[in-house]
Each structure stands twice: as C-alpha cells, then as structure tokens.
Structure 1
Amino acid sequence: MKLNQFGRLTPNTATQLKELDLIGFDADPDLPFAQSLAKNYRLLFPEALNATQQAQALKAVAVDDHQTLATWLDTEPTSMTRTQFYAVALQLLGFHPEFKNLAKSIAQMQNAQLPTVDADLATTTTFLEALYLLLNTRTPKLVTYLDDLANRGFFEDFQADKQTPQYLFFNGKSQAVFDPRQLIREVVWVESDLDTDEDGQRDLLETTIFRPKATDLGTKMPALFTANPYFHGTNDEQVEAATHIPEPNLVVKTQSHTKADVTYHEPEPLDLPRAQASGETQTATSYASENGIYSLNDYFLSRGFATVYSAGVGTQGSDGLRSVGGPSETASAVAVIEWLNGSRRAFTDRTRTTTIKAWWCNHKIAMTGKSYLGTLAIAAATSGVEGLKTVISEAAISSWYDYYRENGLVVAPGGFQGEDADVLAVDTFSRLKQAGDMLGIQAKWEASLHAISSAQDRTTGDYNAWWDARNYRNHLNDIRCDIVSVHGLNDTNVKPANVIRLFNGLKNLPIQKKLFLHQGQHVYLNNVQSLDFTDQMNLWLTNKLLDVDNGANDTIPNVQVQDNVEPQTWHQYAAFGPSQTRTLNLASDWTSERSSFADNATATFKSEHDTSASFEQAIIQPTSAYADSRLWLTQVPLDHDLILDGTPEISLKLWIDAPTAILSVRLIDLGEAQRFGETASIVARDGYQLGYDFKTQDIVEFAPAKATAAKLISYGHVNVQNPVNAYEIQTVTPGEPFNVHFALQPTHYVLPAGRQLALIIHGADMAQTIRPTAVVNYHLDFANSFLKLPLR
C-alpha cells in the first residue's frame, strides 16, 4: 500500500506548536517529556469519553514487542526512539502490524510512502513536531489522521463556546468543525435571462442548497456549485427509443466550408420583462428532498462549504428546454453563480412574488463535477463570471464536437454506440417526468428536439456553427478563475483530447491550472486510495474560497500522472507534453506482411456476434477475426523503457477504390503482461468517511489485472475527405493517391523494456464510428507514411 501525499505543508516549529494548541493539544515545549506524551496521547482516542476508556485505549496499543503504550507511559520516559514512535503511529493510523514486527516500523512507514521524522525524540519539542507530522499523515482510510480523529468526534464540541461558529485551519486546510448532520436543505428558483420555451417569461432555474446550520448563526460560507443535468433523473425508456442505429452508409461529401461558414455568432439578448416581486425574505419555502450526488462536495460540508446543485434549463422544476451544452446551458449555470455572488434574483417559489438572496454566502464560488457536470463548469468559466474563483472539472468536455464527432466523422462516446446530442437531450429533459408540466410544452419540446437532430448533422459529420457554439475552447481567453482538470487516460467516453486541448489552451493565461491524469475510465478521483486528492483540494479550496495564504499554488504540482506499470505510483511534472519527438517511417521502422487490406469489419462484426466492448478487445489482438480487415505493423522488442507523453500524430499516403472511407489507427502495447484494469477495485467498502457520524463511500484503487497479450495505448479516426480539418473537404478519386494527417488521443504511457509497439491501420470502428456495409479496399504507401511519437 502506497499512500502518496502531495498536499502536506511543512511549517516552522513555532507555527506547528501554535496550530497544535489551537486544535486542543498541549503544545507547551517546556512541559516535561513524559507529561506531554501522557496528556497528548490520551487525546488521540476521541471516542473514549472518560479517563477509564482512555486508559483502556492506551492498553490496546503496543509500543514494542513486550509492553503496551499504557505500561510504557507509566515509566515516565524521558525519550522515545523513532522505532517506538512509529510502532505506535502505525497502529493509530489504522494499520495492523504484528506485535513481533513492531521493530520494523520505520521500514513499514517508508514502504507505505508515509513521512517520518529523522531522529529519535529526545525533547518535548521533537515529540510535538513528530505529533504534528503524524496528524498530517494519510491513513488507509484515505484521509489524514486528523481527519480520521474528526470523523471519530475529535471536534464535536469545537463550536460549543462560540457565539458565532468559527472556521479552524490546520496545516493550511479547513477542518471538520461544522456538523454535517445539521444541514439547512432548501430550494429556490433563480431568475435567468433566458426564454428557451418562448412563453414570454424568463426561465426559472430550480436550485437546491445544502448549507451547514452555522450559516443561520452568522457564519458566511463559500459555495461548491455543481451544475448537474441528471439531478432529477433521466428518461431511460425514451433514450432507448431515441438512440441511433449506426448508419450502414458513409456519404460522399460534395460541399466544403470556410471558417466563416462554421463560426457561431451570439444573437442579440432578449428584452424580457421582470416579474414584479412584492416582498423579500431570508427563509425558503421549499425543502430540498433530493440528496447531493458528489462525495467531494459532501466532504466539504463539515469544513464550512455550502453545496449547491442545479439541473439547469429544461429540467424538472425549472423552465425551458435542453440545448446539450449550448449557450443557454452555459447561461443557466452562470445565472446560479450570479445569484450566489449577489447580483441576480431568486424567488422562494414559482409564483415569482417573493425574492430571496444567498445571504449566507461569502460570494466566493467553486464549480465541481464529472462529465456533463464538469463540462458545464468549464462552460461557465469561459463566461468570466464574477465570484467564480475556481473550477474542479473531472472527465469534462471542452468541445462537444470532440465528444460526438472526430475529423469529419460521426463517432460515439465509448460504450454508447448510437448516442448523439439529440439522445442526450432526451435523456436530460427531466420535465418529461411531470405530466402536468408537459401539457403546455410538448409541441415546443418536439420542435426543439427536431432542431437539435437536424443541426447535429449525422449525415456529413462535419463541424458547423451549431458545434462551434458548443466549443468552449473558443472562449478560453475570457477565463478568470483557476482551473483543476482531472481525467482518465483510459476514458473512451470523454476522450483525453478534451482535457489536453483545454489544458494546452490555458497555458499562457494568467491563472493557476493543475492537471491530474489517472489510469481509469470515466470516473471520479477523490476516493482513490493512492492519492491525497481530497486533501489537495482542501488546500486548494481553502486558499481560493476562504483566502487562507497557504501556498496552494506552489505546493500542488502542476501535473500529476498515475503510472501505468508501478501500482499506486504517481509522478509530478511541471508541464504535460514531450521533451522530444521521434518520427518513425512505416516502411523502414516497422515490419508488416502487407500494405493493403479490404475493410470487411461490419460483416465480421455481425458474424462474430460482437458488441462494441468485444470488438475493442478483438481488434487489438495479434490473432483476430478482424485480421483481414486491418494492417498489423510491429517494431522489435524494446531494449529500454519508452515513455510516451503527449499527442501522437500520423501522416498517411494511400489510395482506395471508393470516393470516401473511414480510416482508423490504433497504437498498441504488445507483449504478455499484467496491465492495469480500467476499473478501480474496491479496497474498503464504505471505508471513506465524509464527516463525523455522516456519509461514507467506498475506497478504490487501480491495480494490475490478469495478464493480456496487448493493450490499447492511443487511437484516432478520420474521414479521408477531411485531411486538414473537420469542415473543409477534399475530393477523393478512386485509385489516385492522397494524404491524410491527424492526431491520435493524447496519452502518458510507460512501455517497459521487452515489450513491443504495434500499429494497427483499419477502416470502420465498430465501437465508435458508424458501420458501413460497403467493402473498401485500402492501399498504403508506407515509404511516404509516418508516425510521430511524443517522448518524455
């Protein structure tokens, strides 16, 4: 077990003693050594409610292989060896070392990547320094030891003698001194500037707030806002009916476009009347019955951060229609932020008669969330809205074209073949769940859905103004807040290109930007055991939303990447991307038995009764039913480790016997080996506690799975009629050579010595592209084809 930690601060001794005193320890350096140990060790058992229970707890801990901590403290020691201190520490942290192995405590701490002091404890000050470090050390329960103590009641009475509840900061982070069981749960309706259902009234946006009771007692708190289109559920039955069957024909494109043709222009804002409210209140009239959906938000409730959810325009409880990442959805997220920053109205109910302010908010907001949720956080950030101080987006889309399209092709997000923007509109239009609400909106909804289906253009797959309106990277220069991006290197749903193109686009902006890349698929990171993501985000949000000068910008590495070979190992870099590139010629640097193939993948897919998932595995195997529908190129086994870091690019010269075709490329790690599974395994069910007597979540970890012969490293697709970009086309004449150049998915990948690189060139991708039935013959000119690899 490796408990990597990058969010821990190392203040000077005076600061450490001051902070220990602040949280209730006796930090007097002049106190006799034995007395300091006796007093402070007893405080590490907050569940022990009297002296008798504390004494019993001390007896349950061994200091070495022949005496308990209680017995040893009775000897009134004048010093403590490192081995003794960490023998005790391992047990306090939640490890279970055998008593015969306590003498190996230093090695066990180091094996777990846990910090230790450098010398034996000979003075009270050195004991207090070791105690401070221990409190900031991670436990197998994912949290720090002080967090673990808080989860057992250490801070239960912290606010008891305070007229106005106060924050507590330790090691630069906000501590769990607010009771998460005493939440004010309420719903308000934020007034937007939209009228997406064209009823002549401003769309109201239902917004749910969970805020600690301390806000009613005068404590102003920041807000963690999650724009969650799924908050009121999804329309699964309707989605099944709306999902597209992958088309059997790839059209021949005849019309090219210019950049001007595909550029979106914002329409003039609507001049909408404002409701004439007759009163104002601080008391909501609707109880929030829905629960929060993100454990990171829940973790911060006890640390003095309110959490806010809004499903947005076109969802149950709100007005309007969905636009699938369009400007109206950005505007609805921004409207909620503006209510939180004090510049926009909300009402206590849909009658619009009584207004209510976010009077409890300190006007500092962060946005959080994964996938569509994180996407809307990025969208809101590009507005430059005041009060939004930071975004923590995970597996987020930065351009919707890169989600549903690629280089002039219709593609599907991994695992959802046949999904498209219109399908997602159906899925998230939760107003469908209320029959009474739909009585007056059905016709508008059907017209809106038809417009989305037409504008998304499944016929050509080209980039157009509709997609341009959903390209948030067009507006990166408007971002004013700091950005934390999290993404799975094996995410085939929101592919890594979305986050890397965003991160690269932020490079020259005067904001802070951090990047986390893990080995998983489309998942959150905060409950992965090997990384202190939650603790780092505590440092980050305490700085951004509570104005604590804790050095978060410099302490948190710019880029953190999980290794794909060594379990539970994370690397820190100043930047993402290669230090050098290597260009490989497909003729001289690779070996292949042939340079031509006929793409019969659709017929094989049907005869093999494959699914998208089984195709993904079959196409990359050395022996495959799809062998005749691909080219298989290999290199000799490596004599040294190779680290890919960045975006591979491929340039191909070829000719085909048709006027159009799909071209797909896969880069493969070849060789029998145990590789990481793309789904994290449960380490401890409900082991991650989010607060004292509060919610829990499973602790998970990515680990090597059973041995396989090959693993996908990166991949890409292109419509051969789109060799330059996704809106200009070339005419392909059967039998005449042409060139294409396109990027594969970005990656960070360690290829160990002894393994091989393999390159697969094929046609239609049964898992991601449409599935043409026409057989196309491909002929590659390897001598004039190249693969450029980014290397660290």
Structure 2
Amino acid sequence: MKVSHLTRPLIALLVVAFTGLGTAGAALAAQSPHDGGSQPVYSYANAVRETAWVDTGLKDPQGRAVRVAADIIRPAEPASQGRTVPTIMDASPYYSCCGRGNESQLKTYDSAGKPVQFPLYYDNYFVPRGYAVVLVDLAGTNRSNGCVDVGGPSDITSAKAVVDWLNGRATGYTSATGSTRATASWSNGSVGMIGKSWDGTIANGVAATGVAGLKTIVPISAISSWYDYYRANGASLTAGTPAGLATYVWNSGAQSGCSSVQSATSAGSPSNGNYTSWWAQRNYYANAANVKASVFVAHGVNDLNVKTINFGQWWDALGANGVQRKIWLSQTGHVDPFDYRRTDWVDTLHRWFDHYLMGIDNGVDREPVASVERTPDHWVDDPSWPAAPSATTLKLAATGTNGLGRLGSTAPAPGATESFTDNPGQGERDWTANPDSVLGSRVLFSSGTLTSDLRVSGTGSITVTASSSLNNARLSAVLVDLGPETIRNFEGSGEGITTLDTKSCWGDSAAGDSACFKDAAADTVDVDSYVISRGWADLGHYASLNSQQQLTPGKAYTMTFKLATTDHVVSAGHRLALVIGGTDNGQITGNSRPRVTVDLTRTTVQVPLVGTLPK
C-alpha cells in the first residue's frame, strides 16, 4: 500500500457515552435482544486489559518461534459469572509505526507493559455491549517478533493463529518469551474481523483460509490481490514496492535476520509486471470457495490507492460461492465509513456484529444488500449488486476528425484505425480536460448526448487490438462522464472529506483512552468531466501475465483487461466517453514514447450498463 495513503488512519466513529452496569441482570441483558440489539451494560472502566502472545506455529529465519502480541480488552463481568463473549478483532501492522484513525492513534502501554490505549472506537463502543476487542500486531511489527512478508503466510498466519487461540486450538503465553500459558477461557469462539486498508486485507486473507470460528469480516478499502495493488495487467502502478512497504511498518528489532524474507519479496515482485507464484500466494479472491464468514464490504469508488478492482473481483468471487454479503460504496477515495456516514455506519455495524456474533435476529441480513452514495451525502439502497446483470458491448467508430470518434452501437468502417503517441508526462487529467479537441497522446470516443440517465454498475473490460512503433507499449483505458456535476473532492488532501475541529463521543472513556473523535464533513468540488473507471495494461503481456514479451514493431496484438469496478449514474444531458492512451501519468510507470495504432474493427469495450446509449 502506498505509504502516503495507507498511513492515513482509519477514521473513528461517533458514539454516545453510556454508564456501564455490573449486575447479573444487566449482564444477561447485554446479549439479549432488547431495543434492537446488545446494550451498553458493562463497565468500560473496569474492563480487563491484558496481552497474550500467541504462538503462530511459524519460525523466523533463525529458527525461533514466532509469537504475535494480541492486546485484549474485555468486560470483566461475564467471566466472573462463568459466561463467555464474542470477539471483534483488528489485525494490523500500523499500531506503532503509523497509527489508526483521523488522529493517528497508536497503542500505548503503562510502565508494566499493560495496554492502555486501544486505537479507534471499537473498544469504547463494543466492550460495554458485551464484546471483547482484540488488536493484533502482525508478525515483525510493534511487539510481535518474526518477519513482515506483505500479505503472505506470515501476515495471514499472524491473525489466523489468534482466531485459533480464541477457539482453543493454539497456544498463548503471558509474555513474549516466557512459558506461562495464557488461555482464552472468556471467549465463546465467535470472531469478527474488521479493518481498513492493510488491516482489512488481512481480514480477507484470513477468511480465505476458511478458519473455523471466524463468523464475519468487515474489510474497508481492502486488497483482495496484492498483484492488483502493485500491478495492472503487466503494467507497474505508482505504488512503490512490497519490499519498501515492509521496511516502513516493521519493528527493526524483530526484523533483524529477516534479509532472506526481504530478498524473496523483491525477487517475487519483479518490476517487469510478471505474475509470479509470490503474487499467487497473495491472491485471496482465488480462494473465495473457502470463505465461511459473512462479508460486509465498504469501499470508495474513487479510491486510487487500493484500486476498486480489489473489491469488485472479491465481491464477484464471494457471490459465485454463495457467501452472505453486504456492500457500501461511497464517492470518496481511501476513507473509512466513519468519516462519510458516521451515524448510519455505527448503527449498521452494531447490528451486523450483533447478528453474526451474538445471534440476534435483528433483520440486518434481510436488508438491502447495497448502499451507494449517488451524490455527496445522498445514498440509495439496492436489493442486489451490481445493478447491471451483464455488460453491454460498445463499439468504436471513427469520425471525420482524427483522434475523436463515436462510442456506441455503430460498427467501424472496415480497416478503420486511430493512432496516438505515448507521452509519459500526460495522464487522464490532460486526456479529459478538452474532450472535443484533438490531443496527440490519446484518442477519445464519445456517445451522443443522453436523453435519460445511464447507470454504470459493476466491472467492465476492454478488448484492444493495437500495434506499436517500438518493441513495447503501455495501454490505458479511461471511462469518462462528460458533463457538469458536483462530486466529492477525492483528489483533495482528505480524499473527499474535511476533518472538523469538533468532536463526538461514542461509547465510554477511561484514562488514556478517550471515546471522543474528530467529526468530518463532505469536501466537494464542481467538475465538467469525471473519470468513473480506469484500466491499464502492458501490451507485452498480451499472451500471458506470467511472461512479458517484446513486441514486433508494426504487428498487431490483441489484449483484454478489466476496468475498475464502479457504480455511477451518467445524467441525462451528459455524454459517456472512452479514452485510450498510453502511459497514464501518476497511475502507471513508463518512459518510452511509441506510436500506437488501434484497430477499431477489433477493439470493443464491455460496460455494465443499466439503460441504453442514444443511437
């Protein structure tokens, strides 16, 4: 994950303060259906705060057992009554390097090493309602030993081992190196994982193992395939390198002796864009058939950090395997729902955990599957998602102006072509700024003016047949809404939100751990064009992502690749356009300048449409 974005914290939630109760009657009420869900009847101030170091079963390169630190906060009353509780768990590499939430909260400890501050609102809100909250340091980060391997076996096993421990299947200890056992006798074995970005990615990966006891996951802006975080169909995205990301989050002490893991990381993620076994090991959607947990996805359709193809392919794979699903799609970039729809988010999340972890029949599983932000702060619900049952194939036809064509059902003339010269210094902003003007670095095809709204909902693709003047070529395909509208300013510093000076409190506070977090509001901008989906490729991977080929100049090659998953309504009076260009500056890397010729007779774009384009 790109450091500049992923270090942005998971946004905290708005919660109302309650007073915890400690009577036996109140304890029973916390896990009983009452007023729609679990109630804040347990004392947060008197909650048990402790750490277990869980044996992952892994060895570091020196042969030492890898233990991960699981910081726990749980209500004291149930255990004293012989009762057990479910767990909400967030496994992260960020608890000491970067922080979580809008205030970059870190874990803190007292002089004896006992946890004091649990970042985010989960503990403040859910512990009084009868949940344990467990925050896990991935191997090689914060207080865990071992090596960071960026989404691989070390990462996933770090979290899976804690789920196993909560179910009595793994061994825990009261210290990092000691032999005194720690047991989770207070746990009922039901676990829900949650987290934004890398944290949510770990939730995806653990769910893909099929581990027993994991009842639900809530991945927020999460990766489903690390290849699709760093690469796009053979092209390198501007996200840095996996090895570089590892150095950003690791505990330098724990990482001593991990050079072999770093070497394997670098070797397994070559800059030529090849899909290797290293990437395959970090492809979670390929193992969606193993998922037993329900999945509540939240993602911004304008997330240029964790690209939306990550939730799209995960969602489709889960659906193909009958997984219970729910999805929220905002207009933001890489932002947590707490910052764009706070009250509704905490209410929905509360009912989701109550249902899947406490067994409360509150109807959340029968509500609309999807909630989509249509315009800033205006949401619509859908009974299923995506809205388009299949993609519509659109054709590209030339007009009398070279570089400007027609998008729709009209077939191109026999032998029709369009050409552009790659300019690595330009990108989608340049390509879409003046859509009716000729620009040598791209070709643009637009529909006629829409007479009714047109919804693009789902994952599209493009099949391009093109030749290059050199032995290489980058390809970019950009789907654009041409017309004025107000959108969230996802390219701004807050990626669509503004953090306010006011605070709201959800849950209970204690010394060193406040339940109060900064509020946020929509940051909007007026635009004349809006990119709604993107896709990139290296034409040298036309035959296979496993191997890059040198192109024969002048020879045509055909390649099909996906466009980013999206949900957007192109309003009546607007036009839908497709841009085909070379290197998309700021999105993919490249430095050559081939002349690329597109064969229009063998190039089509498949768009998931609800509605029709004008003839």
TM score, norm. by length of structure 2: 0.85
**Quick one: which amino acid aligns to residue 546 of structure 1?**
M
Partner of 1:710: 529
**Quick one: which amino acid aligns to residue 598 of structure 1?**
T
**What secondary structure sits across from 1:203 in the alignment?**
strand
Cα distance in structure 1, aligned partners of 2:605 and 2:200: 33
**Quick one: which amino acid aligns to residue 207 of structure 1?**
A
Partner of 1:689: 505
Cα distance in structure 1, aligned partners of 2:363 and 2:485: 41
Cα distance in structure 1, aligned partners of 2:139 and 2:438: 45
Residues 245-260 of structure 1 mapped to structure 2, 5 A cutoff: none
Residues 92-111 of structure 1 mapped to structure 2, 5 A cutoff: none
Partner of 1:386: 212
Partner of 2:471: 659
- 1:493 corresponds to which of 305, 309, 313: 305
- 1:221 corresponds to which of 81, 85, 106: 85
Is the Cα–Cα contact under 8 Å of residues 629 and 762 in structure 1 kept in the other structure? Answer: yes
Partner of 2:597: 779
Residues 441-460 of structure 1 mapped to structure 2, 5 A cutoff: 442=256, 444-458=257-271, 460=272
Residues 109-188 of structure 1 mapped to structure 2, 5 A cutoff: 148=16, 151=17, 153=18, 156=19, 158-160=21-23, 162=25, 166-167=29-30, 169-188=33-52
**Quick one: which amino acid aligns to residue 635 of structure 1?**
S
How far has the Cα of 1:366 moved from its partner?
0.6
Cα distance in structure 2, aligned partners of 1:755 and 1:394: 32
Cα deviation digits, residues 196-237 of structure 1 (max 9, x gap): x233332111111112232453342211111111112159xx
**Quick one: which amino acid aligns to residue 325 of structure 1?**
G
- 1:677 corresponds to which of 489, 496, 505: 489
Q: 1:461 to 1:590 in 2, by over 3 A?
A: farther
How far has the Cα of 1:579 moved from its partner?
3.2
How far has the Cα of 1:582 moved from its partner?
2.7
- 2:419 corresponds to which of 588, 592, 596: 596
Partner of 2:65: 202
Q: 1:410 to 1:695 in 2, by over 3 A?
A: same
How far has the Cα of 1:623 moved from its partner?
7.2
Cα distance in structure 2, aligned partners of 1:626 and 1:331: 53
- 1:791 corresponds to which of 585, 588, 609: 609
Cα distance in structure 2, aligned partners of 1:351 and 1:736: 62
**What secondary structure sits across from 2:483 in the alignment?**
strand
Confirm whether residue 484 of structure 1 aligns to residue 296 of structure 2.
Answer: yes
**What secondary structure sits across from 2:601 in the alignment?**
helix
**What secondary structure sits across from 1:425 in the alignment?**
helix
Cα distance in structure 2, aligned partners of 1:539 and 1:160: 24
**What secondary structure sits across from 1:214 in the alignment?**
helix
Partner of 2:197: 371
Is the Cα–Cα contact under 8 Å of residues 588 and 783 in structure 1 kept in the other structure? Answer: no
Greater shift in the superposed pair: 159-168 or 220-229:
159-168
Partner of 1:573: 383
Is the Cα–Cα contact under 8 Å of residues 445 and 579 in structure 2 kept in the other structure? Answer: yes
Is the Cα–Cα contact under 8 Å of residues 488 and 497 in structure 2 kept in the other structure? Answer: no
Cα distance in structure 1, aligned partners of 2:56 and 2:342: 42
Greater helix proportion: 1
**What secondary structure sits across from 2:440 in the alignment?**
helix
Confirm whether residue 535 of structure 1 aligns to residue 347 of structure 2.
Answer: yes
Partner of 1:421: 242
Confirm whether residue 212 of structure 1 aligns to residue 212 of structure 2.
Answer: no
Higher relative contact order (CA 8 A, sep 6+): 2
Greater shift in the superposed pair: 172-181 or 761-770:
172-181
Residues 340-419 of structure 1 mapped to structure 2, 5 A cutoff: 340-413=166-239, 419=240
Cα distance in structure 2, aligned partners of 1:648 and 1:637: 21
Is the Cα–Cα contact under 8 Å of residues 527 and 697 in structure 1 kept in the other structure? Answer: no
Residues 288-327 of structure 1 mapped to structure 2, 5 A cutoff: 288-289=114-115, 291-327=117-153
Q: 1:591 to 1:166 in 2, by over 3 A?
A: farther
How far has the Cα of 1:396 moved from its partner?
1.0
Greater shift in the superposed pair: 774-783 or 662-671:
774-783
Unmatched 5+ stretches in structure 1: 1-140, 236-283, 414-418, 606-614
Q: 1:590 to 1:368 in 2, by over 3 A?
A: farther
Q: 1:559 to 1:170 in 2, by over 3 A?
A: same
Unmatched 5+ stretches in structure 2: 1-11, 100-109, 405-417, 611-615
How far has the Cα of 1:378 moved from its partner?
0.9
Cα distance in structure 2, aligned partners of 1:198 and 1:617: 47
Bigger-Rg structure (1/2): 1
**What secondary structure sits across from 2:161 in the alignment?**
helix
How far has the Cα of 1:754 moved from its partner?
1.0
Partner of 2:335: 523
Is the Cα–Cα contact under 8 Å of residues 398 and 473 in structure 1 kept in the other structure? Answer: yes
Is the Cα–Cα contact under 8 Å of residues 527 and 698 in structure 1 kept in the other structure? Answer: no
**Quick one: which amino acid aligns to residue 528 of structure 1?**
Y
**Quick one: which amino acid aligns to residue 698 of structure 1?**
K
Q: 1:402 to 1:690 in 2, by over 3 A?
A: same
How far has the Cα of 1:188 moved from its partner?
1.8
- 2:372 corresponds to which of 550, 555, 561: 561
**Quick one: which amino acid aligns to residue 423 of structure 2?**
N
Cα distance in structure 1, aligned partners of 2:399 and 2:158: 53
**What secondary structure sits across from 2:540 in the alignment?**
coil
**What secondary structure sits across from 2:163 in the alignment?**
helix
Cα distance in structure 2, aligned partners of 1:701 and 1:589: 45
Is the Cα–Cα contact under 8 Å of residues 563 and 571 in structure 1 kept in the other structure? Answer: no
Q: 1:753 to 1:306 in 2, by over 3 A?
A: same
**Quick one: which amino acid aligns to residue 194 of structure 1?**
L
Is the Cα–Cα contact under 8 Å of residues 159 and 165 in structure 1 kept in the other structure? Answer: no
Is the Cα–Cα contact under 8 Å of residues 519 and 702 in structure 1 kept in the other structure? Answer: no
Is the Cα–Cα contact under 8 Å of residues 142 and 529 in structure 1 kept in the other structure? Answer: no
Residues 739-750 of structure 1 mapped to structure 2, 5 A cutoff: 739-750=558-569
Cα distance in structure 2, aligned partners of 1:401 and 1:649: 18
- 2:397 corresponds to which of 587, 603, 615: 587
Q: 1:655 to 1:164 in 2, by over 3 A?
A: closer
Cα distance in structure 1, aligned partners of 2:198 and 2:13: 27
Q: 1:729 to 1:452 in 2, by over 3 A?
A: closer
Cα deviation digits, residues 613-641 of structure 1 (max 9, x gap): xx553443117999332223322221111
TM score, norm. by length of structure 1: 0.67
Cα deviation digits, residues 471-528 of structure 1 (max 9, x gap): 1122211111111111111111111111111111111434311121111111111343
Q: 1:529 to 1:163 in 2, by over 3 A?
A: closer
Q: 1:290 to 1:777 in 2, by over 3 A?
A: farther
Is the Cα–Cα contact under 8 Å of residues 29 and 38 in structure 2 kept in the other structure? Answer: no
Cα distance in structure 2, aligned partners of 1:285 and 1:353: 22
**Quick one: which amino acid aligns to residue 579 of structure 1?**
P
Cα distance in structure 2, aligned partners of 1:301 and 1:161: 16
Greater strand proportion: 2
Q: 1:688 to 1:747 in 2, by over 3 A?
A: same
Q: 1:624 to 1:589 in 2, by over 3 A?
A: closer
Confirm whether residue 753 of structure 1 aligns to residue 572 of structure 2.
Answer: yes
Compute the RMSD of aligned alpha carbons.
2.8
Cα distance in structure 2, aligned partners of 1:734 and 1:157: 73
Is the Cα–Cα contact under 8 Å of residues 27 and 42 in structure 2 kept in the other structure? Answer: no
